[in-house]
Amino acid sequence: MSCAGQSIKLPRIEFLLFSRLVRSAERIVTAEELWSSAWSADKPLNTESLHVHIYRLRNKIAAHHLSIDTMINVGYRLLLSDTNPR
């Protein structure tokens, strides 16, 4: 994957999560939606695991002025400019 001409290497799960967030940039995506986009539907939601993957993804996209905002008890939102604190 690349952003502004720079390559970003993402493991499969992080790529799937990022892809789902990009499709709804600036809008909230529920934790359940993110989970089902990266894992099989029969695997129950594990919020701790999801949070770890989001944390890793945040670190990788921060250099590209992108950030992921946590909406507590709801989900996550991809922000296209890194102006909001995490």
Domain boundaries along the sequence of the chain? 9-79
What CATH number is given for 9-79 in this structure? 1.10.10.10
pLDDT given for residue 86 in this prediction: 47
CA nearest neighbour of 61 among 82, 83, 76, 75? 82
User: What parts of the chain have a pLDDT lower than 70?
Assistant: 1-5, 82-86
54/51 Cα distance (integer angstroms): 5
Residue-level pLDDT at 5:
67
Question: Residue 2 — φ and ψ, nearest 5°?
Answer: -135, 155
Model confidence, pTM: 0.85
